[in-house]
Amino acid sequence: MRSFRITAPGIALALFFLFLAVSLPLSLGRSVRRIHAAFRFAGETAYEERARHFGAEYARAVEEIRRTIPKDGVYLLLDGDEEELGGAIWVRFDLAPRRAVFLGFLKDLKTPASFRYPLIRETRWVVIGYAQKPPRLMEGSELLRRLEAGR
């Protein structure tokens, strides 16, 4: 006859099997979804992948910036958010190996006397990264005009 006596190892093993019963189906479910997605999105381009994950506007903006700045090009990178949410870091990956010079927060560029202004004037491209919005590309001179106009 099978023994149903309650013992410490019995309780431990019952809990362990409960853990497996809860967590394994979740892992297997994730696997099923990933395998399904692999067939569903087969043949996607990198642009389509990026649009699926980060939004069409983000993907379009990245494509545009990449078309404009050559692979061995250089750009100034600004964080457009009010606090550090990583928007600049996020877009830098999609733009690499283009090299970035980080200028900090856009909100800190209020004073025309800032040491950053000459740098912006000398650099052709500026990219402003946001956490919740697509990145913006503009020429250094345009950014200066906007800053000076108080926008």
Partner 1 sequence: MNEVLPSLGGVALFLLAGLGLTEFFPGLRRLTLPSRLGYAYLLGLAVVAGSLYALSHLAKVPLRPPVIYLTFAAPVVAGLIRRALTPWPPLPVPGEGGKRARTGVGGEGSGGGPSKVVIRVIAGLLAFVCLGLFADAVTNPVTGWDGRMTWSTQARYVREEGTVDAEALRNGRWYINHPRYPLLLPVAQVAVLEAFGAEEDRHIFRPLYAALFPAFLLVLGDGARRWAGRVPAALAGLAAAGLPVLTFWQDSGAASAYSDFPLGCFYGAGLVLLLRSRRRVSDAVAAGLLLGAAVLTKNEGFLLAGSALLAALFLLRREGRLRQAARLGAAAALVALALAFFVSWRSEIPERHDEKYSSFVDAGDFWPETFTRIPWLAPVIAREMFIWHRWSLFWAVAPVVFWAGRDGWHGRRRALFWTLLLAFAAPLAVGWGAYTVHWNPLPLIPVTWTRFLVQGSIPLFLLLALALRGALRRMPGRSVPKVLLGLSHRAG
Q: Which residues bind partner 1 (CB under 8 A)?
A: 1-5, 7-20, 22-24, 26-28, 30-35, 37-39, 41-44, 46, 49-50, 53, 71-72, 77, 86, 89-90, 92-93, 96-97, 99-102
Q: Taking the complex as a whole, how short is the minimal distance between the CB of residue 43 and partner 1, in angstroms?
A: 5
Complex with partner 1: residue 36 or 145, whichever CB lies closer = 36
Nearer to partner 1, 9 or 150 (CB): 9
Min separation Cβ 14 and partner 1, Å: 8
How would you classify the pairing of strands 125-129 and 136-139? antiparallel
Shortest reach from residue 87's CB to partner 1, in Å: 12
136 to each of 7, 55, 58, 77, 88, how far by Cα in Å? 65, 15, 10, 10, 11
Beta-carbon neighbour count of residue 104 at 10 Å?
A: 14
The contacts of residue 128 (CB under 8 Å, 6+ apart) are 77, 78, 79, 80, 106, 135, 136, 138
**Of residues 89 and 144, the one with the C-beta less far from partner 1:** 89
CB of 126 to partner 1, least distance (A): 13
Of the candidates 55, 58, 48, the residue with the CA atom closest to the CA atom of residue 129: 58
| 8 vs 149 by CB, closer to partner 1 | 8
Query: What is the nearest approach in angstroms of partner 1 to the Cβ of residue 151?
Result: 25
